[in-house]
Amino acid sequence: MPIYAAYASNMDPAQMLERAPHSPMYSTGWLCGWRLTFAGDDIGWEGSLATVVEDDDPDAKVFVVLYDVPDEDTANLDRWEGTELGVHRKIRARVETVEGPVLAWLYVIDGYEGGLPSARYLGVMADAAEVAGAPADYIERLRLHEARNVGPGPEEPLEDQS
């Protein structure tokens, strides 16, 4: 069965159960030589979306959750990730796990790097990483990443809806 590496909100097994109900969690690991970044602008989640890019820094790595994904769930995940719309494309990469290296496929944004994710999206990613067992310093970096605020700021009162 093909192994899928999730590094954003799909790290949460509960979310994956909704999107790919036949795809059990396999393991966790690291994409070594890669870094987490954000790409596109306003594709979804009120800001840029997470993606990964190769990095020359020998310490660069991205925490991932691995799932066994049968064909029946792959098509559904492709729809969720917008592959038919050209939002994401699939690539293969080596993931380092405690059991040894695993070849996995993952989605990357097919667009420019840059832009800011929403604070809400970063919160969802950090929560998913925490549920999946990511190290505390990795989760903290997600929570402290620069973000665009969504909704009115403290000086902007909500309009009266009455």
With 0-12 CB in 10 A as exposed, 13-18 as middle and 19+ as buried, what is 128?
buried
Quote the pTM value. 0.86
pLDDT given for residue 45 in this prediction? 63
Pick the CATH number of 3-144 from 3.30.230.10, 3.40.50.970, 3.90.1150.10, 3.10.490.10: 3.10.490.10
Contact 38, 51 (CB under 8 A): yes
Q: Is residue 6 scored above 80 in pLDDT? A: yes
Q: Are strands 3-6 and 34-44 parallel, antiparallel or unpaired?
A: unpaired
pLDDT confidence tier of residue 12, bands split at 50, 70 and 90 = very high
pLDDT given for residue 89 in this prediction? 87
Q: Longest C-alpha distance within the chain, in Å?
A: 59
Q: Which of 148, 127, 142 is nearest to 46 (CA)?
A: 148
78 is written with which tokens?
A: 């492709």
Q: Is residue 42 scored above 70 in pLDDT? A: no
Q: Is residue 153 scored above 60 in pLDDT? A: no
With 0-12 CB in 10 A as exposed, 13-18 as middle and 19+ as buried, what is 147?
buried
pLDDT single digits (tens) 73-121? 999 998 888 877 777 889 999 999 999 999 999 999 877 787 889 999 9
pLDDT confidence tier of residue 150, bands split at 50, 70 and 90 = low
Distance CA 116, CA 150 (A): 11
Beta bridge partners of 95: 102
Q: H helices within the chain, ranges in order?
A: 13-19, 71-81, 119-132, 136-144
Q: Tokens 């990730």 correspond to what residue? A: 81
Percent of the chain predicted with pLDDT > 90 = 66
